[in-house]
Amino acid sequence: MNGSFDRDAAISGKAVDLYDAFTHDHHDRRTLLRQMTALAGSAAAAEALIGGIAASPAAAAKVAPDDPRLQADRWSGTIAGKPAAAYVVSPRKGAKRRGTVIVIHENRGLTPHIQDVARRVALEGFDAAAVDFLAPQGGTPADEDAARALIGTADYDLVIAQAIGFAERYRTRRGGTGKVGTVGFCWGGGLVNRLAAAGGAAFAGGVSYYGPAPAPSEAAKVRMPLLLHYAERDARVAATGEPWVAALKAAGRPVEAFTYPGVDHAFSNDTSAQRYDAAAAAQAWARTAAFLHRHLDV
């Protein structure tokens, strides 16, 4: 019995590694299917493995888009001289003055899941803006492979400029606390780390979920407090995250970092059956909400 469980766990872990290599490195679906078939033993079993790991667009939202407690809308305009767009959500009741949280998507763009995360943020008592960083390229496409391809060609200087532009827009708006934070996942978590070094006074705090880190030499430039969530089984991100955390601490920068045992990259994404870990996700979210209130409330 234990031997069978160990073999299944080993296959599952290897499958996640292969899928991560596909989504973050080579982007070749034929290669992915060939590798998964060799691992699983058949094309049908390979497709089942991929289906369990990949985020499901059909997965139910935790917070309904028409939840009566929230006011949700779309915003579009121009920031940093290029098209910009966001899904914006506010609680209908609660504090009259609220901080704003910029929610930064994964490498698939502004998906329904990230919009759901923005609604969860709003239910914590913040105004939330889930920015579509593919807006300058026409917006997030429905096809996730196409979205990943667009992310790979994005102008990173423009991405940072638009993120800071959104932060300034909300930081100076009437009715807010004057404080803007950010929370990002995977690609978005990496952007949070970069904004910590490049964002200056625009952000009051940032939360990165399993985001790749910049060079440790960038740590001295960081001005905003950081909360960093890592997955124990995520060797790719850990290779950059561990020296990043060490450099931040050595530079005396305000940082909290947690590694969640026994979980994979994207453990907080409840639309991925294979990756999602409810206990770790709940603990990370509780820490995230407390951190944001600590740094964004009046």
pLDDT at 58: 62
pLDDT at 41: 75
pLDDT band at 231; cut points 50, 70, 90: very high
Q: Mean per-residue pLDDT for 181-196?
A: 97
Q: Mean per-residue pLDDT for 197-226?
A: 95
User: Quick check: 36 pLDDT over 70?
Assistant: yes
In the block, which residue shows the tokens 């914590």? 124
β-bridge pairing 127-131 and 176-185: unpaired
Residues 6 or more apart whose CB falls under 8 angstroms from that of 211 comprise: 184, 185, 186, 187, 188, 189, 190, 191, 192, 193, 228, 237, 241
Q: Mean per-residue pLDDT for 137-141?
A: 98
Query: Global pTM?
Result: 0.87
Q: Which of 45-49, 133-137, 180-184 has the lowest mean pLDDT?
A: 45-49
Q: Which of 1-5, 15-19, 155-159, 269-273 has the lowest mean pLDDT?
A: 1-5
High-pLDDT (> 90) share of the chain, %: 73
pLDDT band at 45; cut points 50, 70, 90: confident
User: Quick check: 2 pLDDT over 60?
Assistant: no
Nearest 10 degrees: Cα torsion 49, 117, 208, 214: 70
User: Quick check: 9 pLDDT over 60?
Assistant: no
Look up residue 230 and give its two tokens: 């890592």
Q: Mean per-residue pLDDT for 85-113?
A: 95
What mean pLDDT value characterizes the chain? 90
User: Quick check: 8 pLDDT over 60?
Assistant: no
Q: Mean per-residue pLDDT for 108-132?
A: 97
Please, which residues bridge with residue 255 across strands? 226
pLDDT at 12: 65
